[in-house]
Structure 1
C-alpha cells in the first residue's frame, strides 16, 4: 500500500513538472509573438526620404539624420488601423531651437538651392491631430501649427513660405493657409511682415474679439484628423503651390520669389496694414526678393502657440499654458501640436549645395 501511494505521488509530481514546462513553453512562444507584433517601425521605413534631412526635436536638440530613429516624446510612428504614419509632436513650452520663441519637431533639408536656378519640389500628405487647447484668441498665432516651410539659409534668414493649420477650441473645422514673409530691404529685419492667403477656411488675420471669444467656424475648413496634401515646387524663380483634400476644392497659387511686389510702403497689403503695421512692422522688401539667397525645405510640426505675453508681440505671443516647461503635463491637457505624415517626397536640383551652415549656426 505504501509502495502504491509512493508510486502515485511520483507520477503526480512528474505530471506537474511536465505541465509547468509546457505552460512555460507556451508563455515563451506568446512572448516571442508579442515581440514581433511590437517591433519598432521607424519613420524612415514609412517615408524613405530621410537621407535628405536633419531632425530638430521639441526639446531644441538636433537629432541629425533620422534613419532608424525614434523619440517617444517627439518623433515616432503610429498605425491608425490602415496605414503607418510618422508623428511629429511639439509642446507649447520648452527648449527651443536657435532664436525662435516656439518649439518644433521638424525636418530641415540638408541642401540649399537658389530660387532663380531651382527645380526643386516637396510633397506631403498629412493630418493634424492636435493644436494647443489654450492661447489668447486675439493673437493670430494661437492654436496654430506650421506643417511645411521654405526657409532662407542666408542674410536675414526669412521664410518665403509657411503652411499653417489653425483651429479654435470647441470648433470642429480649422483653417489651412500659407504665408509669404518679405525679405526685408536693409539691415533692420525687425520691420519684416507676413502676408497670409487662405486655402480652406480663414487666413491668419481672422482672430477672436477677446481672449476667449472665437470667430465663426469656417464652413469649408479641415477637421483634426482629416487628411490633406500639399505640393511645393520652385522652378525658375516661381513658387507654385497645390493643395488637395478629398471633399474639398483643389487650390493652386503662384508667387514670384525673385522679383518683389512690395518695394514701396504703398504696396503693403491692407491685411498687413491692419495686423503688422500697428506694431511697427512696416518694412519694404528688396527688389530681388529671395534671389541670390540659398533656400531649403522644412517639414513637421512647428508649434506656433507659446507662453509669452501678447505685450511682447500681439501676433505671435499667445500666453498659452506651458506648465513651466513640463512637457508631460502639457501633453496631458492638450497644450501641444501634433501632426501625422503618411506620405512625402522630395526632388532636388543639380545646383543644390550643402546647407550645413544652417545647422552649425543653430538658428
Structure 2
C-alpha cells in the first residue's frame, strides 16, 4: 500500500471510532435523560386528598371562590384544596380567604365539604369524626366582633325550612396570642315565619366561648390558659342517634370533653329560657327569637367539614357579631394569602357513617347557604 492510501485508511478508521464513541455517548445521555425524567415524574406525583382520607364519595366540595367542585376524588386546587405533608404524614388542606366570591348568600368564603345525603334526627344513626389542626386564622378583624379571627371546622346543617345549623364547631385565636379557643354553637330553629331573629348559643370546649371579645377594635381579651395553639392537633366526634346529638372533643395534653344536646325538644321556647350570654350578645342586634318546640324534628340534616372562614370584610356597623371589617385587598386572594388574611385547616383523619335512612341531599346544592 502506498503512503497516500495508508493515510486515507487511517483517517477512515479514526473517523469510524469517533462515530462509534459519539453514538455511545448519545445513547448514554438519552438513557440518563429518560431515567431523570422518570425519576422526576415519580417525585412530583400528585397525592390527591382521597388517597389521604378515602371518604370523598359521600361529599361535594365548595371552594373558596364560591364554585362547586363536586365529588373531589382525584382533584386538587392549589389555591384552596390540596395535600401536604409533615413529619406526621400527609394532610388534606382546606384554605379560604377573608374576601372573595362566596357560596349562596353567605358573607363568608369557605373551602368545605357538604354531605350528599341528608338524614332526619329522629331516625338518625349518623357519625362524623375528624382529626385536624388549624394553621391560620385571619390576621385582621375588629376584636369587638365575635366572629373575627375564627374558622368553623365542622357543622351539622339543615337542608329544609330555614336551613339553620344545630351545630358549628369553631376555632378562634386573637393576634399576639399563642393559644386559641375551641367552642361549639347551637343555632335555634326559629319559631314562626321570621328567621331574622335566630341566634346562637356558644359552649366552650377549650379556652373561651364566642362571646369573649376585645374591649376595643385593636385590643384583645386575656389569652386562654387551657387553649389550643395553631398547629396543635385536636379531634372531634359527632354522633346523632334517635334525636340526640353527642359530641366528644379530645387533644393530647388537654381534658377530653363531652356534650349532649336533644335535637327534637327545644330548651328555648320562651324568652325566659334564653341564656344570658345570648341576651347580651344577640338581643342588641335584634336577634331575640324563640325556638319551635320540636327544634329540628322533621328537618333533613347533613354534615359539613372543612375551613369555613368566619372573618370577612363587611363593616361591623352592619352586624357587630358577624361582620369583621377585616382586610380583603378587594378580593385579591394572593395578596390576602401573603399577609395572613385567610383561614387554613389541615385534616389528617376523618370518617363518616351514613345511616340506611339517609336520602339524597342534591336539592340543597341549588339553594342559598
TM bin, normalised by shorter chain, reads over 0.9
> Larger radius of gyration, structure 1 or 2?
2
Aligned counterparts of 1:16 and 1:135: Cα–Cα separation in 2: 67
Does 2:181 align with 1:175? yes
Q: Which moved more, 1:353-362 or 1:88-97?
A: 353-362
Aligned to 1:157: 163
Aligned counterparts of 2:225 and 2:124: Cα–Cα separation in 1: 37
Write out per-residue CA displacement over residues 279-337 of structure 1, whole angstroms, 9 at most, x where no aligned residue. Answer: 11111001111111111100000000000000000110001111111111111111111
Aligned counterparts of 2:130 and 2:255: Cα–Cα separation in 1: 17
Does 2:324 align with 1:318? yes
* Residue 81 of structure 1, CA deviation: 3.3
Aligned counterparts of 1:269 and 1:244: Cα–Cα separation in 2: 26
Aligned counterparts of 2:267 and 2:318: Cα–Cα separation in 1: 29
Aligned to 2:55: 49
* Residue 21 of structure 1, CA deviation: 3.6
RMSD across aligned positions (CA)? 1.5
Aligned counterparts of 2:244 and 2:96: Cα–Cα separation in 1: 31
* Residue 19 of structure 1, CA deviation: 2.9
Q: Which moved more, 1:154-163 or 1:266-275?
A: 266-275
Among candidates 276, 297, 302, match of residue 296 of structure 1: 302
* Residue 27 of structure 1, CA deviation: 2.7
Among candidates 100, 106, 111, match of residue 100 of structure 1: 106
Q: Following superposition of structure 1 onto structure 2, how do residues 107-118 of structure 1 map, counting pairs within 5 Å?
A: 107-118=113-124
TM-score when normalising by structure 2: 0.95
Aligned counterparts of 1:174 and 1:7: Cα–Cα separation in 2: 80
Q: Which moved more, 1:24-33 or 1:240-249?
A: 24-33
Among candidates 133, 137, 143, match of residue 137 of structure 1: 143
Write out per-residue CA displacement over residues 134-174 of structure 1, whole angstroms, 9 at most, x where no aligned residue. Answer: 11111110110000000001111100000000111121111
Aligned to 2:353: 347
2:122 counterpart SS class: coil
* Residue 361 of structure 1, CA deviation: 2.0
Aligned to 2:3: none
Q: Which moved more, 1:12-21 or 1:298-307?
A: 12-21
Gaps of 5+ in 2: 1-6
Q: Which moved more, 1:35-44 or 1:192-201?
A: 35-44
